[in-house]
Amino acid sequence: MAQREPIGVVGTGYVGLVTAAGFAELGNEVWCIDIDADKVARLRQGEIPIWEPGLEELVAKHRGRLHFSTDIADALEHARLLFVAVGTPPTYSGDPDLGAVRAVVDAMPASDHHALVMKSTVPVGTGASIKRHFVEQGKGDFRYVSCPEFLKEGSAVKDFLHPDRVVIGDDGDWAGDAVVDLYAPLDAPLVRTDIASAEMVKLAANAFLATKISFINEIANVCEETGADVLEVARGMGLDDRIGPKFLQAGIGFGGSCFPKDVLGLKQLAGNSGYHFQLLNAVIEVNELQKRRVIGKLHKHLGTLVGKRIALLGLAFKPNTDDMREASSLVLSARLQSDGATVVAYDPVAEDEARKLMSGIEFADDALGAVRGADAVVLVTEWGEFKELDFREVAGAMAGDVLIDGRNALDPEAVRAAGLTYEGIGRS
């Protein structure tokens, strides 16, 4: 194998650690930097702080190539390219918090042989502003590349190694060329463009996917009123290759660390620039209402929720991750508790994260433990194991008989055959 370029990755969360392990798989030495000393110590011992399929194995396989440190100087010493993968969480204004990005920018020395490669999702114009900042600080030779990340939690390792496309926004200099070379072995379609356009690709892609979800959720709601079945409708729509079948699964709304933040961020970016992005307002509002629709369904079946025991199956914002950021379960459980219900929940991997964000709910060790004595069960996250449940056993353990399938993941006939009352989203 030809000698591969050593790189630095700043931030070892979902994106940073997967990027680091992915490049290690391609043969790169990677210096991984994080300000969280505890996380770095755990990573050095081979412990993976997040739950992501295949990541632990990949990090273990490449322990010799992955170096972990809290000192950014270690990365600057060994690598020309520093990938930035720090968090950009939402603020109260809807703008993302760029504090961590700025901290990294400020830590850069004057250099004519280093470049920042921005993987964090940032507003359009961030690259231009960082370049201006470098010039003002006398670091004008520091190069800058935008390289937005499109991996999905739950299949992040596979997504890194088999991306639909790689987007690189740069000034046509050595740094852009070097990032193109880094990704070359993946043989993915390459979109090499200017920095602002690369930044916008990321925001527009997430906003479009979120729009698709809110669209099908509204179709589902109209299906409920009119007797159509949204699964049939989505199947019929999705076969049109101008539409495609993905992101047409009706449910109880999107969550996670990216869609809510990036949709809001794009709406805010447009507003800050003097443009009113009407469509995104609706996408956000539909999603908020969708998270609460289950409450109406429970009232319909149970009447008052005061004193009722409601079991939530799944808490993570989607299956195959322990990420609880902006999960629909957070809104749902808070609404249930404020209506006087007792909430008991089970998630195969997200309990530790959930405990940090949820209060006043009971946690069960397994799905049957959660449904025992419940008046109603809500499937919140479509983990595979819930599809395998023996619904006769579930029915036998419950006090009531209502099962709300918030992700249309179960077979209604199997659930009904077990004596339960099934209700999905957008299904007659």
Ligand X SMILES: NC(=O)c1ccc[n+]([C@@H]2O[C@H](COP(=O)([O-])OP(=O)(O)OC[C@H]3O[C@@H](n4cnc5c(N)ncnc54)[C@H](O)[C@@H]3O)[C@@H](O)[C@H]2O)c1
Stretch that binds ligand X, among 145-153, 236-244, 271-279, 288-296 (CB under 6 A): 145-153
**Contacting ligand X (CB under 6 A), which of 87, 163, 260, 406?**
87
**Closer Cβ to ligand X, 68 or 422, answer by number:** 68
User: Residue 52 Cβ, how far from ligand X at the closest point, in Å?
Assistant: 9
User: Residue 373 Cβ, how far from ligand X at the closest point, in Å?
Assistant: 36
State the Cα–Cα distance between residues 180 and 243, nearest whole angstrom: 31
Taking CB under 6 A as the rule, does residue 95 contact ligand X?
A: no
State the Cα–Cα distance between residues 74 and 67, nearest whole angstrom: 9
Taking CB under 6 A as the rule, does residue 201 contact ligand X?
A: no
Taking CB under 6 A as the rule, does residue 120 contact ligand X?
A: yes
**Contacting ligand X (CB under 6 A), which of 75, 100, 166, 207?**
100
CA distances from 288 to 27, 264, 291, 327 (A): 44, 12, 6, 11
Taking CB under 6 A as the rule, does residue 104 contact ligand X?
A: yes
**Sites for ligand X among residues 341-400 (CB under 6 A):** none
* Contacts with 60 (C-beta within 8 Å, 6 or more apart), sequence order: 46
**Contacting ligand X (CB under 6 A), which of 29, 34, 326, 353?**
34
State the Cα–Cα distance between residues 427 and 293, nearest whole angstrom: 14
**Contacting ligand X (CB under 6 A), which of 9, 21, 32, 33?**
33
State the Cα–Cα distance between residues 396 and 298, nearest whole angstrom: 20
Stretch that binds ligand X, among 85-93, 180-188, 308-316, 337-345 (CB under 6 A): 85-93
Taking CB under 6 A as the rule, does residue 103 contact ligand X?
A: yes
Nearest to 35 by CA among 99, 128, 127: 99
Stretch that binds ligand X, among 10-18, 184-192, 299-307, 309-317 (CB under 6 A): 10-18
**Closer Cβ to ligand X, 266 or 370, answer by number:** 266
User: Residue 29 Cβ, how far from ligand X at the closest point, in Å?
Assistant: 19
DSSP state of 377: E
Range list of H helices, 227-338: 230-238, 259-272, 278-302, 328-338
Q: What is the secondary structure of 344-369 as a DSSP string?
A: EEE-SS-HHHHHHH--S-EE-SSHHH
> Can you read off the two tokens belonging to residue 58?
């990949």
Taking CB under 6 A as the rule, does residue 36 contact ligand X?
A: yes
Stretch that binds ligand X, among 11-19, 212-220, 297-305, 349-357 (CB under 6 A): 11-19
**What residues are annotated to the active site?**
258
> Can you read off the two tokens belonging to residue 305?
């929720």
**Contacting ligand X (CB under 6 A), which of 6, 8, 16, 426?**
16
User: Residue 121 Cβ, how far from ligand X at the closest point, in Å?
Assistant: 4
User: Residue 16 Cβ, how far from ligand X at the closest point, in Å?
Assistant: 6
CA dihedral 94, 164, 53, 48 (to 10 degrees): -60
3-state helix vs strand vs coil in the chain, percent to 5: 45, 15, 40
By CB under 6 A, name the binding residues for ligand X. Answer: 10-16, 33-36, 39, 85-88, 100, 103-104, 119-121, 149, 151, 153, 257-258
